[in-house]
A and B are shown apart, each in its own frame.
Chain A
Amino acid sequence: MAKLVLEFLSEEIPARMQARAAEDLKRLFTEGLTQAGLDFAFAAAFATPRRLVLAMDGIPLRSADVREEKRGPRTDAPARAIEGFLKGAGLNSLDQCEKRDTGKGEFYFAVIEKKGRNATEVLREVIGKVLSGFPWPKSMRWGARPLVWVRPLQQILCVFNGVALKGGIVENRADSPDFYFDAAAQGGTGSRFVFVESPRANDVIVPARETTRGHRFMAPGEIRVEGYTDYVRKLKQAYVMVDAEERKAVIRTKAETACREAGVTLVKDDALLAEVAGLVEWPVPMMGTIDRAFMDVPAEVLITSMKTHQRYFACHTRGGELANRFVVVANTVAPDGGREIVAGNERVLRARLSDARFFWDQDRKAKLADRLPALKDIVFHAKLGTQAERVERIVALAQAIMKAESCGFFHMTDPAHLEAAARLAKADLTSGMVGEFPELQGVMGGYYAQLEGLPLEVSNAIADHYAPTGPESRCPHSPVSVAVALADKLDTLVGFWAIDEKPTGSKDPYALRRAALGSIRLVTENGLRLKLTDVFKAAAAGRTINSGELLAFFADRLKVQAREQGVRHDLVNAVFALGDEDDLVRLLARVKALQAFVGSDDGKNLLVAYNRAANIVKAEERKDKALAGQIKSVPDPALLEQAEEKAVAAALEGAAASAGPALAREDFTAAMSALAALRAPLDAFFDKVTVNVAERPDLRLNRLRLLRRISATIDSVADFSKIES
């Protein structure tokens, strides 16, 4: 058993791609080994800005010999069948086959013995295969080479059992004079690029070396390694931390220490941490200072500028306000302790913030209302008109939502505030600040509205109208904010539905899934009682949309969201399947009652009985096509002979009588309890009553009708056929 360390050293890999690439390397490589019959005990992959690294252990030095048997045609089969068999098995003549009597006649058997191969040979082959088809999200060519990689691949280091594999990667094409070998014929993968031991010098696309290199600037010399532990240790001496988790931990710890010393706290940001860890091989967090002159610019502006443009971490004061400090993570240990680096970063930030400060000062000179005419020049979408037209639609829709809500959520809302917020929500799109920092849309409008002295309700609604933007983001609760935020999203959804630009597969360029999820959160978290189909109609404002399809799109999003909250998606299906339910609050209440019910003993047993009844009916319908039409009618009481079937009929009537009104008053728990009363009579029925009485077709039909009625009654509360047991 031997250890392996494999390193692909390249030019800088985009931070966002590193973690995924390490996973892909591990998956592809281990799959390749397994397919070639080579076992292993352990595999782990890592990425740095310049390397993909795979560490493995427990790889045998040779793969095992494999004996494979293939049964062929009968010995008396036509010649053509025998020829085909030989060809398929890769044999030349029947001499290489055995004849065996299987008891069902005499057959040819081909016995193919595959000799085990040296692990190094397999490793070479798998490396070639991995390089030939690595799933980078974006890849490129360089120099005059045919290989593609995320950025130029400089060299490969593959140390197996303490020895570095020599040679290099070449292109291996059967139609080229550079053809090296027929890998496929030798049982290999036949990939386009192969790793050969003695390539002709001019053919080498990427060399395999016996050494690697350390940090680009601090340790560019050659490093010889024996195994993975040795690799990690020596690279650390050469200023490279191979494991991203270690880099993250170092950044976090050292940044926190620096913050403590400066009397501030680090603002936690996992996404930024992951990105920064992908930009450095040797993280060195340093503390910088923001010029006080910029501290009266809104915190969001400072944070956006620092984070998105500069990848700095923000800091808070003890009081929780934005501190005039930031943490920058450098990739080097400078001999001056980083003084120049910090000074340089502070200078860059100053230039960025002077731009921001300029916009902040300029933007406040105009009122939001004065900006509205300029929205006529901003096209939202070629087929959906300008932002000015959109604003008109949002105003009308927000008002319609306010009127349509039936539970009094908006009863204290001032219609003038609602209209002002809806009308001014998009005005900041014409401000200099949003032009420079598009991610601050809404937030800036909120600030400008507040400074103009608009009511707080209005400025908050402007600031919040894009929310919630994700499952973690805050959901607005104040009525004006909710109405405008919902109108904004529904106008988008209905608009794109009307022009038939719907998300497909992974493509959702207008973020419609997010808009639907946001709408769902606004409605359900605020308990808005709305008939969505009516609201869609109001949003469509005369345009035609397929309302049912849009509702189904909401249903899908609701399932995703429900699953995250521990609600079973099959139960959402069971309630949606009832049709015509477009009130999300009511729908969720019903789903929750259903979840509680199917979790109880009564519920579980009733589900079993339901399925039993449904299965019998289904089975009989399959046998007898005419039956479906006949069993829809109510069972004839006169034909109910046994006590158990009479009891079921009575229980069904009782259940229907109490479930109906309970549903009407939206007491879903009561409706479920009504069903629970069915359980005992049903159990007794299935114990004692035979449905398929062959000699009494009238009885059989009547009992099937009774069974069908069981399903129908239960389905009036929720479609139990959608519930997974």
Chain B
Amino acid sequence: MALAAEAGKPTCFQELILTLQRYWARQGCAILQPYDMEMGAGTFHTATTLRALGPEPWYAAYVQPSRRPKDGRYGENPNRLQHYYQFQVILKPSPTDILDRYFGSLRAIGIDPDLHDLRLVEDDWESPTLGAWGLGWEVWCDGMEVTQFTYFQQVGGIECEVTSGEITYGLERLAMYLFDKRSVYDLPYNQPGSEVPLTYGEVFLRNEREQSAYNFERADTEMLFRHFADAEKECGALLGSSNAKLALPAYEQCIKASHAFNLLDARGVISVTERQAYIGRVRALAKACCEAWLAKG
């Protein structure tokens, strides 16, 4: 069974991940593990944000659990989750055949470009909290967005010295397409024929319900405001002038602040005008961390 799966297309969610990992490992990527903190997207991982800066070559791929508190739907919407997985590939400098390599990964997971309509549709990417932007595309497969493809131009307000190519697969959506499921909760998580077959819903539905309730109703906003302020302060202290600057621990505080902000936003306690100000504060932290990272490097 395992051997058959190895040779053929993935038949469940976890095999999709394993196939992508194996594929990108063969392309020379370091296969990293998820960052062990709450973050909104794989881009926040130091393996992308910080490594995109400076001249050093860097090839890495990893799964990143991504938390978007506002997108929670209590498990009732078949397409939206407050916790989902991104598969992130970063190739720096972007090789000239990066698109061919990417399309190769689609073949590996069972999307045959001869049988499907693959298209690159303009989609520029910007992260106001990271002070980052890039140009690229949404990749469409038969009209469905399966990947976000970006050439990073700026991170932390700093021009990238060497351009990274970033490939982000939305795993659940891709899996729903591959396994022809209308609801994310019906996805096979492990092999349907295995001893204990599990669906995505069996693994995550309760999490979606409880976390949605936390995000929208229960999260203690006073505590979150405090956490935001603490993280901001700590970040500043770690980058202060009296001691050596600690870019990585400081950046973790920036990630914390960003997640606290996302929770506060989901709780609806940040007004439209304040929103911009908070995003600006997180960006200021990200910028300072990026500068410290480069200064050390």
Contacts and interface: CB of A to CB of B under 8 A. Distances in A.
A351 B119 CA distance: 19
A492 to B, nearest CB: 18
B62 interface: no
A340 B115 contact: yes
Interface residues of A, number: 48
Interface in B94-126: 94-96, 99, 103, 113-122, 124
Contacts of B99: 11
Contacts of A388: none
B117 A330 contact: yes
Q: Considering residues A138, A280, A335, A351, which has the most beta carbons from chain B within 10 angstroms of its beta carbon?
A: A351
A356 B190 CA distance: 32
Interface in A333-386: 334-336, 340-341, 343-345, 347-351, 354-355, 358, 377-379, 382
B156 interface: no
A151 interface: yes
A20 interface: no
A479 to B, nearest CB: 35
Nearest to B276: A382
Contacts of B143: 310, 312, 328, 344-345, 348-349
Interface in A307-347: 310, 312, 328, 330-332, 334-336, 340-341, 343-345, 347
Given A310-B143, A344-B142, A138 B135 contact: yes
B151 interface: yes
B120 A344 contact: no
A139 B142 CA distance: 28
B115 A140 contact: no
A478 B169 CA distance: 51
B35 interface: no
B226 interface: no
A241 to B, nearest CB: 16
Interface string B71-83: 0000001110000
Contact of A16 (B122, B134, B163): B122
A402 B146 CA distance: 53
Contact of B163 (A142, A344, A345, A379): A142
B94 A152 contact: yes
Contacts of A347: 142, 144, 177, 180
A162 interface: no
A75 to B, nearest CB: 56
Contacts of B116: 332, 334, 340-341, 344
B272 A355 contact: no
B141 interface: yes
Contacts of A151: 135, 151
A279 interface: yes
B114 A141 contact: no
A79 interface: no
A154 B271 CA distance: 46
A348 B118 CA distance: 14
Interface string B5-34: 000000000000000000000000000000
Contacts of B79: 351, 355
Interface string B148-184: 0001010000001011010000000000010010100
Contacts of B117: 330-332, 334, 341, 344-345
Contacts of B118: 217, 331-332
Contacts of A349: 143
B185 interface: no
B115 A348 contact: no
A142 B120 CA distance: 17
Interface string B35-63: 00000000000000000000100000000
A351 to B, nearest CB: 6
B114 A332 contact: yes
Nearest to A15: B122
A694 interface: no
A16 B123 CA distance: 12
B93 interface: yes
B194 interface: no
B98 to A, nearest CB: 8
Contact of B120 (A11, A150, A330, A355): A11
A449 to B, nearest CB: 26
A382 B163 contact: no
B137 interface: yes
A14 interface: yes
A505 interface: no
User: Which 3 pairs show the lowest CB-CB distances between chains A and B?
Assistant: A344-B142, A14-B122, A12-B120
Given A11-B99, A142-B165, A350-B182, 13 more contacts: A12-B122, A138-B124, A142-B163, A144-B162, A154-B96, A331-B117, A332-B118, A334-B115, A341-B117, A348-B142, A351-B79, A378-B272, A379-B272
Interface of B: 55, 77-79, 93-96, 99, 103, 113-122, 124, 134-135, 137, 141-144, 151, 153, 160, 162-163, 165, 177, 180, 182, 271-273
